[in-house]
C-alpha cells in the first residue's frame, strides 16, 4: 500500500486517527508523570600498577586481568553486603515488600484495591522467599541497580547506582567505593600480618616471662645467678687457695726447721742451765738429711774458759726465739687448716656448679632464644604495620578515586522528552494502523453487503413485466438516471446494466 493511499485513508478517517494518537500520547505523558523517577549517582576509579609491578616487565593482558578482577570484587557479595549493612537495608529500601506502583494502586476504588491486594499477596507468597533477610532482598535490588563498566582504552572503572532518592544514591555509592578500597587493600596486601605478628609477639612475651621466672626460681633455689662466672671465680679462688696453702706449708716447714735447730742448741746449753718444758716446747724432729750437727760432741763442746753468764744470755735469747717460732708455727698450722677448709669448700662449690651448669645453661639458652624470637616478631610487626598502612593509604594505593560519588540533579528515568517523542511516533503509527484496520474492516463489510445486493437484483430482474421493462429501458437510453445503480421499477434492472455495474466493482 502506497503512502498516498495511506494518507487518503487517514484523512478520510481523521477522527479515529486523532483519537488513537491522543490516547497514546496522553498515556505516555501520564506514564512519565506517574512513574517513580530514578536518580543515578556516578563514581570513577583509576587503577595503576602497584609497587612490585612497577619494577617488573608487565604483559599487555596483566592490567586488563587486574581491572576485570576489580570489577568482580566490586560486584561481590562481601562488598555489597558490607555497604548495605553500614547504610541500612530499611533505609536503602524502606518498604521492600511493596512494588514501586503501590502508591498508584491506592488511587483505585476500595473494592478493586482489596481484590488486587489479595491477588498480589497470593502471588507474592508463592514467589518470594519468606526466609530471606532484609539484606538478602536488598542485595538482589542493589545488583540490578549497580553497574560497573570499564571505560574503553583507559584504566578507569565507572560505577553507577540508581535510586529513587538522589541523596541515598550518592551516599550508598560512596560506601560501595570505600568498602571496595578496603577489600582491595585486604586482598592486595597483608592487612592481617600486623595482627598476626602482634599475636605472636604477645605469645612469646608470655613465654619470655615464663622462661625468666623459671631461670630466676632456679637461680634463687641454688643461690647462683651466673654459673659460668661463678665457676670461673671458684676456679680462681681455688688456685689462689692452693698457692696460699703451699706457701703456708712452706712457712711451717721453715719455722719447724728453725725450731728444731733452736731445740738442739738449747739441748747443748742445758748441761749448765736447766729450763722448764714450757719454755723449750715439745721436742721437734730434725729434718731428714740434716743429721745431728748441733749435738754436743767433742768438737763442739763449750770451752771451759767461757763465761757461764754469756751462755745464760745465749740460752735465754735462743729460748725466746724458740717460743716465738713455736707460736708462729701454731699460727701457721691454724692458717693451714683454714686454707684447707677453704679449698674443700671451693671444691664442693665447683662440684655443685658443675651439676647445675647444664640445667642453668638450658634455661638461659631458652630465655635467650625466646628473647630473640620476641624481638624479631616485634620488629616484623612494625614492618608489617608499615606495609599495611602503605597498602591501605588512598594516596599510595594502586586504586585511586578519580571521581567521588556525584549528587544527581536530574532523574535518568524516565527521560521525558524521549518518551514523549517516542509516544508521538507510536501515536502516529498507531493512528495510521487503526485507520487502515478500520478501512479494511469496512471494505470487507461493504463487499459482503454488495454481494448480497447483487443476488437480490438478479432475482428481481427475472420478475420484471414487459411494459415496465420497456419504460425503464427507454428512460435508461435517454440518460435520465443519475445513478447507474438506481434500481429499475419494481426492483428490476437490465442484465447488461447489472453486468456493467458489477464490472467496476
Digit-coded pLDDT (tens) for 232-273: 888 888 899 899 989 988 988 888 888 888 888 777 776 555
Are residues 403 and 42 in contact, defined by beta-carbon separation less than 8 angstroms?
yes
- The tens digit of pLDDT for each residue in 121-132 reads 555 544 445 557
Residue 80 lies in a domain: yes
Residue 283 lies in a domain: yes
Are residues 183 and 78 in contact, defined by beta-carbon separation less than 8 angstroms?
yes
Rounded average pLDDT over 108-114: 62
The confidence score (pLDDT) of residue 287 equals: 56
- The tens digit of pLDDT for each residue in 333-355 reads 899 899 899 888 888 888 888 88
Residue closest to 177 by CA, chosen among 395, 405, 391, 408 = 405
Spacing of C-alpha 219 from chain mean position: 46
Residue 71 lies in a domain: yes
The confidence score (pLDDT) of residue 482 equals: 45
CA gap 321, 261 in Å, rounded: 11
- The tens digit of pLDDT for each residue in 20-61 reads 889 998 888 888 888 888 899 999 998 876 555 544 445 557
The confidence score (pLDDT) of residue 178 equals: 92
CA gap 452, 464 in Å, rounded: 19
Does residue 91 share a domain with residue 167? Answer: yes
Does residue 180 share a domain with residue 269? Answer: no
Q: What are phi and psi for residue 158, nearest 5 degrees?
A: -105, 125
Residue closest to 454 by CA, chosen among 379, 505, 383, 412 = 505
Does residue 46 share a domain with residue 152? Answer: yes
The confidence score (pLDDT) of residue 308 equals: 55
Looking at the 3D structure of the chain, how many domains does it have? 3
199 has a pLDDT exceeding 70: yes
Does residue 236 share a domain with residue 110? Answer: no
The confidence score (pLDDT) of residue 59 equals: 54
What percentage of the chain exceeds 70 in pLDDT?
Answer: 68
Residue 428 lies in a domain: no
Does residue 377 share a domain with residue 440? Answer: no
Residue closest to 311 by CA, chosen among 282, 271, 281, 283 = 271
Q: Residue 145 — pLDDT band, cuts 50, 70, 90? A: very high
Average pLDDT in the chain: 76
Alpha-carbon distance values, 1 to 15, 17, 176, 443 (Å): 21, 18, 57, 15
The confidence score (pLDDT) of residue 116 equals: 60
C-alpha cell at 348: 664442693
Residue 176 lies in a domain: yes
Are residues 38 and 412 in contact, defined by beta-carbon separation less than 8 angstroms?
yes
Does residue 31 share a domain with residue 83? Answer: yes
Alpha-carbon distance values, 79 to 143, 261, 393, 407, 494 (Å): 11, 110, 18, 22, 92
Does residue 366 share a domain with residue 298? Answer: yes
Using the CB atoms, write b or e for 97-124: b if 16+ within 10 Å: eeeeeeeeeeeeeeeeeeeeeeeeeeee
More confident residue, 140 or 501: 140
Q: Residue 84 — pLDDT band, cuts 50, 70, 90? A: very high
What percentage of the chain exceeds 90 in pLDDT?
Answer: 16
Are residues 157 and 47 in contact, defined by beta-carbon separation less than 8 angstroms?
yes
More confident residue, 459 or 203: 203
The confidence score (pLDDT) of residue 173 equals: 94
CA gap 258, 295 in Å, rounded: 15
The confidence score (pLDDT) of residue 503 equals: 43
Does residue 232 share a domain with residue 325? Answer: yes
CA gap 150, 160 in Å, rounded: 12
Neighbours of 229 (CB within 10 A): 10
Rounded average pLDDT over 276-304: 53
More confident residue, 400 or 476: 400
Does residue 229 share a domain with residue 150? Answer: no
Residue 136 lies in a domain: yes
- The tens digit of pLDDT for each residue in 401-449 reads 889 999 998 888 878 888 888 888 998 888 888 888 888 888 787 777 7
277 has a pLDDT exceeding 90: no
Does residue 143 share a domain with residue 254? Answer: no
Does residue 248 share a domain with residue 147? Answer: no
Segment of 144-153, 358-367, 456-465, 490-499 carrying the highest mean pLDDT: 144-153
Only one residue has cell 688456685, namely 239
Are residues 97 and 124 in contact, defined by beta-carbon separation less than 8 angstroms?
yes
Residue 203 lies in a domain: no
Q: Residue 494 — pLDDT band, cuts 50, 70, 90? A: very low
84 Cβ neighbours under 8 A, 6+ residues apart = 92, 135, 138, 139, 142
473 has a pLDDT exceeding 60: no
Does residue 411 share a domain with residue 285? Answer: no
- The tens digit of pLDDT for each residue in 314-334 reads 777 888 888 888 888 888 889
Q: Residue 488 — pLDDT band, cuts 50, 70, 90? A: very low
Residue 205 lies in a domain: no
The confidence score (pLDDT) of residue 51 equals: 52
Tell me how many helices (H) and strands (E) the chain has: 17, 4
Structure-derived torsion over alpha carbons of residues 234, 238, 240, 244, reported in degrees to the nearest 10: 150
Only one residue has cell 662466672, namely 229
pTM for this structure? 0.49
Are residues 387 and 193 in contact, defined by beta-carbon separation less than 8 angstroms?
yes
Q: Residue 504 — pLDDT band, cuts 50, 70, 90? A: very low
More confident residue, 401 or 288: 401
146-150 β-sheet, strand order:
146-150, 156-163, 39-47, 399-403
The confidence score (pLDDT) of residue 55 equals: 45
Are residues 227 and 357 in contact, defined by beta-carbon separation less than 8 angstroms?
yes
CA gap 70, 151 in Å, rounded: 13
Q: Which domain holds residue 485?
A: 435-502
Amino acid at each position: 500500500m502506497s503512502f498516498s493511499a495511506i494518507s487518503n485513508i487517514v484523512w478520510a478517517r481523521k477522527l479515529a486517527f486523532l483519537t488513537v494518537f491522543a490516547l497514546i500520547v496522553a498515556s505516555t505523558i501520564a506514564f512519565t508523570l506517574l512513574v517513580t523517577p530514578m536518580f543515578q549517582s556516578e563514581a570513577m576509579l583509576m587503577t595503576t600498577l602497584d609497587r612490585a609491578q612497577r619494577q617488573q616487565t608487565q604483559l599487555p593482558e596483566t592490567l586488563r586481568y587486574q581491572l576485570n578482577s576489580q570489577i568482580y570484587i566490586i560486584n561481590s557479595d562481601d562488598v555489597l553486603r558490607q555497604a548495605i549493612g553500614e547504610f541500612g537495608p530499611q533505609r536503602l529500601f524502606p518498604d521492600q515488600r511493596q512494588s514501586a506502583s503501590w502508591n498508584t494502586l491506592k488511587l483505585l476504588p476500595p473494592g478493586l484495591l482489596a481484590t488486587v491486594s489479595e491477588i498480589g499477596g497470593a502471588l507474592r507468597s508463592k514467589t518470594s522467599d519468606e526466609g530471606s533477610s532484609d539484606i538478602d532482598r536488598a542485595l538482589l535490588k542493589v545488583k540490578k541497580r549497580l553497574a560497573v563498566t570499564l571505560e574503553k582504552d583507559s584504566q578507569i572503572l565507572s560505577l553507577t547506582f540508581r535510586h529513587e532518592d538522589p541523596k541515598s544514591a550518592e551516599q550508598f555509592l560512596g560506601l560501595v567505593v570505600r568498602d571496595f578500597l578496603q577489600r582491595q587493600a585486604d586482598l592486595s596486601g597483608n592487612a592481617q600480618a600486623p595482627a598476626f605478628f602482634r599475636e605472636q609477639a604477645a605469645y612469646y612475651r608470655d613465654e619470655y616471662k615464663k622462661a625468666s621466672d623459671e631461670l630466676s626460681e632456679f637461680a634463687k633455689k641454688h643461690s647462683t645467678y651466673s654459673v659460668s662466672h661463678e665457676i670461673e671465680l671458684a676456679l680462681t679462688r681455688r688456685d689462689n687457695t692452693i698457692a696460699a696453702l703451699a706457701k703456708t706449708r712452706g712457712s711451717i716447714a721453715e719455722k719447724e726447721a728453725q725450731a728444731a735447730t733452736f731445740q738442739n742448741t738449747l739441748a747443748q746449753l742445758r748441761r749448765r742451765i736447766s729450763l722448764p718444758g714450757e719454755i723449750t716446747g715439745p721436742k721437734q724432729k730434725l729434718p731428714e738429711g740434716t743429721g745431728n750437727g748441733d749435738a754436743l760432741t767433742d768438737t763442739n763442746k763449750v770451752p771451759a774458759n767461757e763465761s757461764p753468764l754469756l751462755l745464760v744470755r745465749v740460752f735465754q735469747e735462743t729460748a725466746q726465739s724458740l717460743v716465738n717460732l713455736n707460736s708462729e708455727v701454731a699460727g701457721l698450722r691454724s692458717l693451714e687448716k683454714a686454707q684447707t677448709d677453704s679449698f674443700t669448700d671451693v671444691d664442693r662449690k665447683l662440684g655443685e656448679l658443675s651439676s647445675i651448669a647444664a640445667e642453668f645453661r638450658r634455661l638461659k639458652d631458652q630465655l635467650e632464644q625466646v628473647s630473640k624470637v620476641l624481638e624479631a616478631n616485634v620488629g616484623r610487626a612494625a614492618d608489617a604495620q608499615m606495609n599495611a598502612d602503605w597498602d591501605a593509604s588512598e594516596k599510595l594505593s594502586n586504586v585511586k578515586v578519580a571521581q567521588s560519588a556525584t549528587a544527581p540533579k536530574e532523574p535518568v528515568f524516565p527521560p521525558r522528552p524521549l518518551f514523549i517523542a517516542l509516544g508521538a511516533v507510536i501515536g502516529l503509527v498507531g493512528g495510521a494502523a487503526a485507520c487502515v484496520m478500520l478501512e479494511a474492516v469496512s471494505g470487507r463489510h461493504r463487499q459482503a453487503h454488495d454481494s448480497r445486493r447483487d443476488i437480490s437484483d438478479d432475482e428481481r430482474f427475472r420478475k420484471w413485466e414487459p411494459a415496465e421493462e420497456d419504460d425503464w429501458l427507454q428512460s435508461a437510453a435517454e440518460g435520465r438516471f443519475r445513478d447507474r445503480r438506481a434500481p429499475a421499477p419494481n426492483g428490476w434492472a437490465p442484465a447488461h446494466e447489472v453486468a456493467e455495474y458489477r464490472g467496476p466493482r
